[in-house]
Amino acid sequence: MIQNSHNYDHSRISIIIPTLNEANNITATINSTELSTNVEVIVVDGGSDDDTAAIAQSLGITVISSPPGRAIQMNKGAAIASGEILLFLHADTRLPPGFDQMIRTALQQPQTIAGAFALKIDAPDWGLRWVEWGVKLRSHLWQMPYGDQAIFVTKQAFYEIGNFTQIPIMEDFHLISQLKRISKITLIEVPVITSPRRWLKKGIFKTTLLNQIIIIAYLCGISPERIRKWYRQEKFSRI
């Protein structure tokens, strides 16, 4: 297990946002990073055919291009990041005020090199409160936060485990599994706020069930490529 002896009190945080046609969300996401210190934001665009890249550039954000695919995009962002801490943020997720100091404080805990936030879904549906409860339970009991919870990790640990494995699906699950082998995963109780679109598109129950089926398939050894092919054929929403 990694012994975390570094002091991260004033470390730079690089926020990496992979995007693909996120013109409707990217402004709010970037704005949520503004009340912070010693932070850089890197948007890695996977070939949007809307105004995502232009909007990010107009806000003074570093924008780079990449082939599509979250793992590929996030690795490319990490490669140019100047921070000692990497924060991977979905383009439809907003950070809470003070997130930067929360992350630095979390990484001061012994043997901690990674973590994530609690999750709040931005819709009033009672079913989504059950989803949030399930996410909290999973994150605490099994230390398995997912990508929509804004995963953060020290750059040293990220490179030690070999970056995101460039698979077409489940890249966040695989990353956390690798990190758990060398460190505990901390959970910040203050939530990020994410869009409800993937739950509302197919229905809360169906989306949650499909997500669990995909995870079980992955754990049973079915290749991410095969899962992704099935996923696309069925036109399921992205987990």
| CATH number (domain holding residue 39) | 3.90.550.10
pLDDT of residue 231: 61
Task: Note whether residue 48 is domain-resident.
Answer: yes
Identify whether 109 is part of a domain: yes
Domain that holds residue 125: 13-197
233 in a structural domain? no
pLDDT tens column, 195-214: 999 888 878 887 777 777 77
User: What does the alpha-carbon distance between residue 101 and residue 85 come to, in Å, rounded to a whole number?
Assistant: 12
Scanning the chain, the segments in alpha helix (DSSP H) are 26-31, 52-58, 70-80, 99-106, 126-141, 155-160, 171-180, 197-202, 204-219, 224-233
Range name among 35-49, 111-125, 198-212 with the lowest pLDDT average: 198-212
Residue 143 in domain: yes
Smallest Cα–Cα separation from 117: which of 85, 145, 86, 91?
A: 145
Q: Is residue 36 part of a domain?
A: yes
Q: pLDDT band at 233, cuts 50/70/90?
A: low
Q: Is residue 19 part of a domain?
A: yes
| pTM recorded for the entire structure | 0.90
* Number of separate helices (H) and strands (E) present in the chain: 10, 8
The answer to whether residue 181 scores a pLDDT higher than 50 is yes
Does the pLDDT at position 236 exceed 60?
Answer: no
Structural domain includes residue 98: yes
What integer is the mean pLDDT of 115-123? 97
Task: Give me the number of domains the chain comprises.
Answer: 1
Indicate whether 1 belongs to any domain.
no
Task: Round the CA-based radius of gyration of the chain to a whole number and report it.
Answer: 17
* Structure tokens, 80: 């140019």
